[in-house]
Structure 1
Amino acid sequence: MTTTNVKFLNKDKSTFFPVLRTRIEQYFQENAICKSGGSPMVGKAIFMLSLYLVPYILILTNLFPAWAMLILSGIMGIGIAGVGMSVMHDANHGSFSTSPWVNTLFSGSLYLLGGNVYNWKVQHNTLHHTYTNIDQLDSDITGKPFLRLCDQQRLQKMHRYQHIYAFLLYGLMTFSFLVKDFKQIGEFNRKSKSKLTKPFSSREILILLAGKLFYVVFVGVLPLALTDITFGQWALGFLLMNFVAGFVLSVIFQLAHIIEEVHSPIRNDQGNIENAWAIHQLESTANFAVSRPLSWFIGGLNYQIEHHLFPSIGHVHYPAIAPIVQATAQEFGLPYYQKTSLMDALGSHVNMLKNLGRPQAGQIVSAQRVVCVPQPVASSQEV
C-alpha cells in the first residue's frame, strides 16, 4: 500500500480521549504541578551526560592502560543510552522544560551521540508517535531488511531465526546513525509529497553535515590524536560503546511495541485507520516493569502508554498519571497492556519475534507478501 496522508476515523464516536485529557488536566491543576520535567530533569541530565562525558575525558588523559580504556568505552555506551532515553528524548518532545531554549539546548545532546535533531523529530515525533506500529509509516518497524516486525511485512526464510539474531542487530542501532540520516533525507522528502512529513531544507542538510563532522572529530579524531591507542584499540572501544548503547536502546523501545498483545493495524481501502487515534495508541503500545528505579534510568519509557498519549508531559510524572489512564481505559472497556516485569516483557518480545518469523494460522504465504487474517491473542494480559 502506498504511503498517503493517513486519517484516524473515530467511527464509534468514542469520547475516551477528551475525558482522559480533562482528568489529566485536573490532576496537574489540583496539585499545582508543572507538566514539564522541571528541576528533577536537570539533575538527571547532569548525571547522564557525566556518565557519557567523564569516561570520555578520562580516556583523553591517556593515563589508563588499554583494557581500562575499553571498560570506560563500555560505560560511555551506558551513558549514551541514558542520555538518549532520559535527556534528549524529553527535550525533543518539548517536555524537558517550560523554556523552549532549554529544550533546544538539551535536544542538542543528540549531536554528541552521532544523531540529528531534525531527522529524529521527523522519524520519532511525527512518524512513530502518529502512526505507531503501522507498516510503511512507523519507521521503528519499517525498513529493517533482516527483521519482520509486523504481520503485513514479507515473510522470508531467514525470519525463522530472527528471535536469535535480532539481539545482535539491536546492538548495531547507534552505528546506523552515521548513514541512516542521509538515507532518510530522500525517504522523508518523498513522504512530504503526501504531507506525511516536511521536506529537509538546505539549512537542515547543512546542520546534518556539520553535526556528523563534529561527531567524527569528537569520537574518532580526538581520541586517536591525543592518546597512544592504536586504531585497532580505538575501533574495539568504538564497537563496544555503540553495541552497549544500541542494545539497551533497541530492547527498551521494542518491549513497548513488539510483544504478543499489541496490534499492528491494517489500513482500509482508502489508506486510513478505522479507529480513534488515542484508542489506536492503547492497542499498539504496552507498559512494562513499572518500577521507579528502572523508570528513572530509562526516562519513563516503561510507561509507554502514558508517553504515547501525552508526549508533551515530562516523564517524571508518568507514575502519577498512569493510574488515571488505566482507570479511564477500563471504564471505557479499552485495553491497557502491561507486563509486570522486565523478563516477562522480554520473553513476550522473543515469542513475538518467533511468531512473526513463522507462518501462522490465518496467513497465506505468497512469493511477495504474507496476507494476514487477524487472530485474537489468547495469551493477552490486560490489567
Structure 2
Amino acid sequence: MAPQTGPSEKGTGAVPAFPQLFTWEEIGIRNGRGQGREQWLVIDRKVYDVSEFSKRHPGGRRVISHYAGQDATDAFVAFHNDKSLVKKYLKSLLIGELAPDQPSFETNKKVSDFRELRCTIEKMGLLRPNYFFFFLIFLHLLVLDAASWLVVWYFGVSLVPFVFSFLSDPFVSQIQMGWFQHDLGHCSVFRRPRWNHLMQIVVINMLKGLPASWWNHLHNQHHAKPNCFRKDPDLNMHPLLFSLGKTLSVELGKQKKKFMPYNYQHKYFILLAPLALIPFFQLSILYFAIRRKKWLVSTASLSGKLQKCHCIHLHLLLVRYLESTWFIWVSQMNHIPMNIDYDKNKDWVSTQLHATCNVNQSVFNDWFTGHLNFQIEHHLFPTMPRHNYWKVAPLVKSLCDKHGIEYKSKTLLTAFVDILHSLKDSGEHWLEAYLHG
C-alpha cells in the first residue's frame, strides 16, 4: 500500500488534511470480486469506497459496480447533470486520492480534448432541452395512439385494423412511445430529474406496460459499458441464441458449446430475435421484481398491458411481434456490427466509439429511430436532448479526425445489412473454433 501521509477519515465526510494515497494496484483489486468484495472507484483522482453505497445507488447497484477498480470520472460526468447534488453523496465515501506518481486518463490528450468538448457544449447550452420540441413529440404520440384505438373501435378485431396497422398500436404509437420514454429515462426532456422520472412512469408503465425502474436498471448498464460481455445486459442473448463478436465466438467454439447452430444465426435472426424478445422481457421483469421487490411498479405495468389485451386479444400477439421487429433492428444496427468483447478498462471516449456507429441523418431516419441514428453522440452525452445531436455531431467528428478514430456513419439499409454480415462472421468464427479449436 502507498504510504499514508495522514490519518484516515473514511466515512466521516471530511476531507483529510493529509489524504491517504493509493496505487492503481490497490484500487484494481477492489473490483467487487476480491478483498471481501470491496468496491472502490476513482473520480477526478479521488478514491471512493462505494461498497455499501452501491446497494442504494439511485441508478442501480450494477451500473456503479461495473466501474469498481477503475477510473469513473467521465462516466460520472456523463450520467449526472446535477453535480452539486451527487457530490453530497460523494463526501461521505471519500477515502483518499491517487498517489502523485499514478497515471490517470486526464493525461491522455484524447480524453482531455473530449473534456474540453464537453465544456464547450455545456456553454453552448446543448444539454438544455427544448420544451416545445418535446411537447410536439408527446402530442404526436397522443394523436397516433388515439388513431389506433379509433381503428380498433370502429372496425373491431378483424383484418381491417391489421391492414391499417401502420396507424395502429405497435407500428407507430407504441414504438414512438418507446423512443420518448427513452428520452425521459435519460433525463433529457425536463431539467429536473424528478419530472423526467414521473413522466417516464406514465409513458412506459401505463401506456406501454413495462416498468420504468426495470428499464433504467438495464439501460444504464448498457450505457456504462456498451458491448462489454457480462456488463452490458443487451448481450444477454449470448450464448443462448446468438454468438456475438469474434472473441466470444471463438471462446464458445473452443469450449465446444452449441446451444444453437450459430453458423446459421444470420438466417434465423430475422425471425427469432423479435420472437424471443417478448418472453425475454417478461422473464427479465419477473426476475427484476423478485430480486428488487418492485411489486408495485410491476403490477402497474401489467395492468397497462392487460388493458390493451382486453381490447385487442390475439391481434396483440401479431402487433407485438412487429413492434419487437422494429425495435430489435433499430436498437442493434448501431452495436452488433461493432466491437464486442470483455471490458478492457478503456477511457470513456474509446469505450463508446468502439461500440457504436451512426446512421445518416434524414427526416425519416430521425423519426424512424427516435434520433438513435446519432448513436455516437447519444452514447458520449447520454443526457443530451435528442434535438441537439445534429449540432454536436460535427464537433465529435472533428475530435475523431484529430485522434485518428473512425467515425462510422451509414445508410439505414447498410446498417441493417451489416447486422447480418456481423452475425455471419461471428458464426463462422464459432464454427471454425468448434471444429478445429
Shorter-chain TM-score category?
Answer: 0.7 to 0.9
In the alignment, the residues of structure 2 paired with residue 11 and residue 17 of structure 1 have an alpha-carbon distance, to the nearest angstrom, of: 6
Structure 1 residue 68 and structure 2 residue 160: aligned? Answer: yes
- What one-letter code is carried by the residue in structure 1 that aligns with 2:299? L
Give 2:178's aligned residue: 84
SS for the counterpart of 1:256 is: coil
In the alignment, the residues of structure 2 paired with residue 146 and residue 47 of structure 1 have an alpha-carbon distance, to the nearest angstrom, of: 36
Is the alpha carbon distance of 1:315 and 1:174 closer, same or farther for their aligned partners in structure 2, counting shifts above 3 Å? Answer: farther
Aligned with residue 334 of structure 2, among 256, 260, 267:
256
Structure 1 residue 41 and structure 2 residue 134: aligned? Answer: yes
In the alignment, the residues of structure 2 paired with residue 178 and residue 13 of structure 1 have an alpha-carbon distance, to the nearest angstrom, of: 45
Aligned with residue 145 of structure 2, among 52, 62, 73:
52
Give 1:178's aligned residue: 282
SS for the counterpart of 1:152 is: helix
Does the CA-based 8 Å contact 2:242-2:262 persist in structure 1? yes
SS for the counterpart of 1:171 is: helix
Does the CA-based 8 Å contact 1:114-1:215 persist in structure 2? yes
Aligned with residue 333 of structure 1, among 404, 413, 416:
404
Is the alpha carbon distance of 1:331 and 1:365 closer, same or farther for their aligned partners in structure 2, counting shifts above 3 Å? Answer: same
Per-residue CA distance 1:304-348 (angstroms, 9 max, x = gap): 011011010011100110111110122122232222x11111221
Tell me how far 1:353 sits from its aligned partner.
0.5
Unaligned 5+ residue runs, structure 1? Answer: 190-199, 225-233, 268-272, 371-383
Aligned with residue 191 of structure 2, among 84, 87, 98:
98
Aligned with residue 208 of structure 2, among 93, 113, 117:
113
Tell me how far 1:37 sits from its aligned partner.
4.4
In the alignment, the residues of structure 1 paired with residue 160 and residue 279 of structure 2 have an alpha-carbon distance, to the nearest angstrom, of: 23
Does the CA-based 8 Å contact 2:187-2:196 persist in structure 1? yes
Is the alpha carbon distance of 1:360 and 1:302 closer, same or farther for their aligned partners in structure 2, counting shifts above 3 Å? Answer: same
Q: CA RMSD in A?
A: 2.8
Aligned with residue 223 of structure 2, among 92, 116, 129:
129
- What one-letter code is carried by the residue in structure 2 that aligns with 1:246? S
In the alignment, the residues of structure 1 paired with residue 138 and residue 265 of structure 2 have an alpha-carbon distance, to the nearest angstrom, of: 35
Does the CA-based 8 Å contact 1:255-1:349 persist in structure 2? yes
Is the alpha carbon distance of 1:252 and 1:328 closer, same or farther for their aligned partners in structure 2, counting shifts above 3 Å? Answer: same
Aligned with residue 214 of structure 1, among 304, 324, 332:
304
Tell me how far 1:77 sits from its aligned partner.
1.0
Give 1:205's aligned residue: 295
Q: Which protein shows a greater Rg?
A: 2
Give 2:395's aligned residue: 324
Using structure 2 for the length normalisation, give the TM-score: 0.68
Give 1:295's aligned residue: 366
In the alignment, the residues of structure 2 paired with residue 104 and residue 6 of structure 1 have an alpha-carbon distance, to the nearest angstrom, of: 23
Does the CA-based 8 Å contact 1:281-1:308 persist in structure 2? yes
Using structure 1 for the length normalisation, give the TM-score: 0.77
In the alignment, the residues of structure 2 paired with residue 148 and residue 213 of structure 1 have an alpha-carbon distance, to the nearest angstrom, of: 35
Structure of higher RCO (CA pairs closer than 8 Å, 6+ residues apart):
1
Give 2:248's aligned residue: 152
Is the alpha carbon distance of 1:82 and 1:34 closer, same or farther for their aligned partners in structure 2, counting shifts above 3 Å? Answer: same
Does the CA-based 8 Å contact 1:73-1:240 persist in structure 2? no
Give 2:265's aligned residue: 162
In the alignment, the residues of structure 2 paired with residue 65 and residue 211 of structure 1 have an alpha-carbon distance, to the nearest angstrom, of: 24
Give 1:192's aligned residue: none
Unaligned 5+ residue runs, structure 2? Answer: 1-30, 34-64, 72-103
Structure 1 residue 309 and structure 2 residue 398: aligned? Answer: no
Structure-to-structure mapping, 1:348-367, within 5 angstroms: 348-359=418-429, 364-365=433-434
Per-residue CA distance 1:17-65 (angstroms, 9 max, x = gap): 44324334424534x5552242111101221343234312442x35447
Per-residue CA distance 1:119-162 (angstroms, 9 max, x = gap): 1001002x100111011221111234211223315343511111
Identity among equivalent pairs (%): 21
- What one-letter code is carried by the residue in structure 1 that aligns with 2:273? Y
Structure 1 residue 26 and structure 2 residue 130: aligned? Answer: no
